[in-house]
Structure 1
């Protein structure tokens, strides 16, 4: 009987020690520190108001492609809190539509790329865009460059829905976005959007519309720069 009580007492002491240690030991992942050194903000990269800044393309033996500015936009789109707080007047009256006329069924890739890559500051966490997919089984991806210029293609999802929908993708940690020697050099560059078509549905005319390309990015390093630090450009 005494041995049983002694064993139970030892087990209880061990349980209390384990719970106490879990509460007091430092976080090995550094979650608390990381959260304290983040300044996550949502920013608009492009609202697709100017079709002249975007270039559509498709292989010449697949079909022909064109794009134009179209009035309208998603009614469910929420404003960016930072812009509202700053009283910024936003012009967002149009979207860009891309039309592809296929010659025949076959593998095809329709792309929409900016005239020059779009730089996104900070450490980007997610990218999103509003799309009208016309309920086709085509798949949308976004093409980005990391800090060293390496190209990454991030799938955003299928376009098998009706009406407007916001598609979002997380930027994986494998994408290098920082020079460890300089806080002033962070971010990625967006090289365009790509629609990988579903072969059985590559016929006739296909329309897709885009609006408000956004990013959620950590601007802590951008806003904590040392103003007295020199720039290595000599």
Structure 2
């Protein structure tokens, strides 16, 4: 190889190495699949179902029933009682009627209040199992970001028979982190990673479809999420629990 060609090749390699190194650093991920709700313990993780104004009298009827998708478990694991969230519903007229599936918790007055289900990491996909009976309905999910904005994403149609896994990709324009490592926001400590919360799931009926009586069952909501956080000197000072404990033990001026 001539000296000129050798120098040119060396220059190309020298230019590429930093680029590849930077790209490798940027591409570091730790994707994991995490179940955020399985409906197996209604006492610990309660849900309610609210309906639109044309709901028929006596509906909706809600129960955590002993059923599950066979695609998940061929048989019930020993020592577990698998359940799904089941709903019977009917409406008095056709149209864009809805059912809202809302996670709740006891409030200070003892009444059930909506609660968001925290989603760890930077979520990329969310999916869940839905049993359909071929009615022409569809489902949305509502996700809240750290600014309090709620984003509505279509989960999918349920005009099919039996259990099916519905999956949605979370758009990159929904914020899940901040450029600030640590700050006070709304009177509370906040780190750079600002995960989303699942607020509710909504079933919609289409205007031409029957609504005089139907069933729907929900099971196992899970996410594919990136749990990687870049290390740096002093990274523990962005951890909310560590910071609260440290300041509680500190000495004021």
Q: TM-score, normalised by structure 2?
A: 0.71
Report the structure, 1 or 2, having the larger helix content. Answer: 1
1:33 alignment partner, SS class: helix
Match for residue 205 of structure 1? 213
Closer, same or farther: CA 92–118 of 1 in aligned 2, 3 Å? farther
Match for residue 164 of structure 1? 163
Q: What is the Cα deviation at residue 184 of structure 1?
A: 5.6
Match for residue 118 of structure 1? 117
Gap regions ≥5 residues in structure 2: 105-114, 182-190, 249-253
Aligned-CA RMSD value: 3.1
Which of 207, 231, 234 is the equivalent residue of 2:243? Answer: 231
Match for residue 145 of structure 2? 146
- 2:120/2:225 contact within 8 Å kept: yes
Gap regions ≥5 residues in structure 1: 1-12, 79-88
Q: What is the Cα deviation at residue 47 of structure 1?
A: 0.3
- 1:138/1:159 contact within 8 Å kept: yes
Which of 223, 226, 245 is the equivalent residue of 1:218? Answer: 226
Match for residue 91 of structure 2? 102
Match for residue 4 of structure 1? none
Aligned length: 205
Matched, 1:174 2:173: yes
**Matched residues in 2 for 1:136 and 1:31: separation?**
47
Note the 1:23-102 alignment, pairs <5 A: 24=16, 26=19, 32-36=24-28, 38-51=29-42, 53-63=46-56, 64-77=59-72, 91=80, 93-102=82-91
Closer, same or farther: CA 72–222 of 1 in aligned 2, 3 Å? farther
